[in-house]
Amino acid sequence: MKQHREEAMRADLTWRQRTLSAVGFAGCGGGVTVWLVLVLLAGLLLVVAPSGGAVESDGVWPVVWAALVLIPCTAAVSLLMHPLRVLTRTRVSFGRARRVTDALVSTLATFLSVLLTLVLTPGLTVRQPWLPALAATLAVTAANVVAERFGGRKGRA
């Protein structure tokens, strides 16, 4: 019934309204993508800048490229980590232990994503890539802890 109403509403739209709707959705998707890349770029710059000589870049574009490469690397690592995540969720049923194992699997996935990104990004020369990957993992973990603390307080107030 609901689907029939939605189809009837779409049928009432003119060609111009459909086009404007499609352009609006594309613009929204593009804006979200740009925002995501900017956040990833800021995170990568926070890891690359203080790393000293561990990460050398041929310029700014390899760091931008790394922000773009991080997205598919994260998707690939998530697919590979999914069986481990399912296994830990089915085997661990207690509240606190389950949260801890989920956090450990998430931390491992973050570490592997950043490590894969550092290795696969053209224009970046990385000596001992596990050090910047560890720094990025610790930064993401700290950001998650801070977000959880402030988010929990806001919900309780």
pLDDT in tens, 29-72: 888 888 877 877 777 777 767 776 777 778 778 877 888 888 89
pLDDT higher than threshold 60 for residue 157: no
Extents of the domains making up the chain: 2-156
Q: Quick one: pLDDT at residue 2?
A: 56
* Predicted local distance difference test score (pLDDT) of residue 149: 83
What percent of the chain has a predicted confidence (pLDDT) above 70?
A: 88
d(CA 138, CA 110): 9
Entry pTM? 0.69
CA 122-127-132 angle, to 5 degrees, is: 85
pLDDT on residue 14: 85
User: What is the CA angle 66-137-107, rounded to 5?
Assistant: 115
Res 112 pLDDT > 90: yes
